[in-house]
Amino acid sequence: MPESIIIGKVDEIPPGKVKGFSKRGIRFLVANIDGAFYAIGSTCTHAGGPLEKGVLEGNVITCPWHGSRFDAATGKVVSGPASNPEPTYKVTMSGKDLIIEM
Ligand code: FES
């Protein structure tokens, strides 16, 4: 059964930005794409790079290590060298709180 965890406030992640988190031993990032929040794993599936430090352009985040690109909404690989997708997590809002289900 998924567990709901408050991870912060909605206004801490403005549109076009990402923020990294580590909860329950899982590293993930939350991206604000045009006002909608999405969460995917932040350990790059290529060689473990820190995706939360990558650049978000539209819905695509680029790994700072070797340039793999992932869809920050779906976790799917847009371009390699990574070939495996990132896991996704559901993000909801309650008032000004951001909540992740894991
Ligand atoms: S670790 Fe991310 S592209 Fe290589």
Domain 4-101 homologous superfamily, CATH: Rieske [2Fe-2S] iron-sulphur domain (2.102.10.10)
pTM score above 0.85: yes
- Sorted by sequence, the CB contacts under 8 Å of residue 22 that are 6+ apart come out as 28
Check pocket membership of 19 for ligand 1, CB cut-off 6 A. Answer: no
Distance 91 CA to ligand 1 centre (A): 25
pLDDT band at 14 (very low <50, low <70, confident <90, very high): very high
| Residue 2 predicted with pLDDT over 90 | no
Check pocket membership of 64 for ligand 1, CB cut-off 6 A. Answer: no
Distance 96 CA to ligand 1 centre (A): 33
User: CA–CA separation, 41 vs 25, rounded Å?
Assistant: 12
